[in-house]
Amino acid sequence: MLGWLCCLRSKKEYQLNDNFPYGQYAIGSIVKYMETLHERLAKYVLPQQYMEQDLYPYFREIEGKQGTEVEMGGHKVLMFGSNAYTGLTGDDRVIEAGVQALRKYGSGCAGSRFLNGTLDIHVQLEKELAAFVGKDEALSFSTGFTVNSGVIPALLGKDDYIICDDRDHASIIDGRRLSFAHALRYKHNDMADLERQLRRCRPDAVKLIVVDGVFSMEGDLAKLPEIIELKHKYGATVMVDEAHGLGVFGRDGRGVCDHFGLTDEVDLIMGTFSKSLASIGGFIAADKTIVNWLRHNVRTYIFSASNTPAATAAALEALHIIQEEKWRIENLWKITRYALRRFKEAGFEIGDSESPIIPLYVRDVEKTFVVTKRAFDEGVFINPVIPPACAPQDTLVRVALMATHTEEQIDRAVAILLKIFKELEIIR
């Protein structure tokens, strides 16, 4: 409404009729000045521009299971763009668990967990997840995104505060937007700035600090020990997103909270099934009091269809495997250390990554797309990271590792990417 009202010059000129509600108008010449939604969206042609240059890097089709190599366009490509850190997405045991659940329970639950959509395997998975991350109870959701976008607004009221790292995941940002709480942000991993934001809060108010355990673009870790110190100093509550920490950090892959020995100090732990657990879905874990509230008040939980039987069973089987096959996480860290060393020695700028997520900074949007395209053409799948996922000056291509990658595959990728970076004069 405001968009076209701003274009009005006078009631007389455009025959605006005060008898119509909300400033509606009599049929007249104003019609030609209105912009429809379709007309506005038709101006969005940036994807088409990159398609015309053959540089569009999204929605690339994979023709089989995701592993360290994938079939794309009829040929094999090294996969360094997947979050399957444990390498279980194509595991026969995980697939068979999903197949058996599909046969036993059917293809879906046709309702929410709140009503008719709770299966015994949902409850079993929640109990095992809670034990795995060291909390009383857990709730499983259909996606990881709906965990953050639903839990955060359910926890906070209008007089409360939510404080986020400015590089938190988009799902956290959306949860913050949906909340009625006062929203504050601090500079990435800047503990002095976090303390400044906490000082802005009313001392007697609820203060929720929400942070990624592993930041998904840069691969660095949250400064959780310092965050916990500030939690106690200012009486805050802490929620950690372990999407990229589970299956990677801590004992048997229990996450960043376990890695720092701070599980008991973190109030809420969030995780996803779509990465190390080789499925789709997410969960929140906390003490009984918090989970009791969330179970009955999170809109994305009680008003969304429950996770499919196949996805639930696959995640449960993957959880069992990563605890039994300790070599997976050991090999993931072996290959991560090798890759970090190789990229550094080759002259790539990789920032402060401490994880299997390795950013290769390009610092130019156009070149970031060119690198992605040329790497793919030469057999290496990587992901471009551009605004709004990063600042304009921090564009990068993201290399993500799996437990099943080999040193030979790393060497091939480094050689191909180094040639491209040098030809584009990103590395001199």
Q: Where in the sequence numbering do the catalytic residues fall?
A: 216, 244, 275
Helical (H) or strand (E) element with 148: helix 144-155
Which ranges constitute the DSSP H helices of 6-91? 11-14, 37-42, 46-52
Beta-ladder partners of 164: 185, 210
* Residue 47, both tokens: 């994807």
Give the C-alpha separation, 418 to 402, whole Å.
Answer: 21
Q: Among positive and negative, which fits the CA dihedral 9, 12, 16, 18?
A: positive
Q: Which DSSP string do the residues of 186-204 spell out, in sequence order?
A: E-TT-HHHHHHHHHHS-TT
Cβ neighbours of residue 52 closer than 8 Å, sequence gap 6 or more: none
Q: Give the β-pairing of 380-381 and 396-400.
A: unpaired
Give the C-alpha separation, 313 to 121, whole Å.
Answer: 7
* Residue 100, both tokens: 């058996």
Contact 311, 158 (CB under 8 A): no
HSE of 94 in the Cβ direction (CA atoms, 13 Å)?
Answer: 25
Contact 178, 299 (CB under 8 A): no
Phi, psi of 190 (to 5 degrees): -95, 100
Distance of CA 14 to the CA centre of its chain: 48
Q: Between the CA atoms of 196, 200, 202 and 203, what dihedral angle is there, to the nearest 10 degrees?
A: 20
Question: For 190, left (φ over 0), alpha (ψ -120 to 50), or beta?
Answer: beta
- DSSP tag of 385: E
Phi, psi of 118 (to 5 degrees): -95, 120
Helical (H) or strand (E) element with 285: strand 282-286
Quick one: which of 421, 352, 27, 9 has its CA closest to 188? 352
Q: Give the β-pairing of 75-79 and 380-381.
A: parallel
Question: How many CB atoms within 10 Å of residue 26?
Answer: 11
The owner of tokens 């938190």 is 168
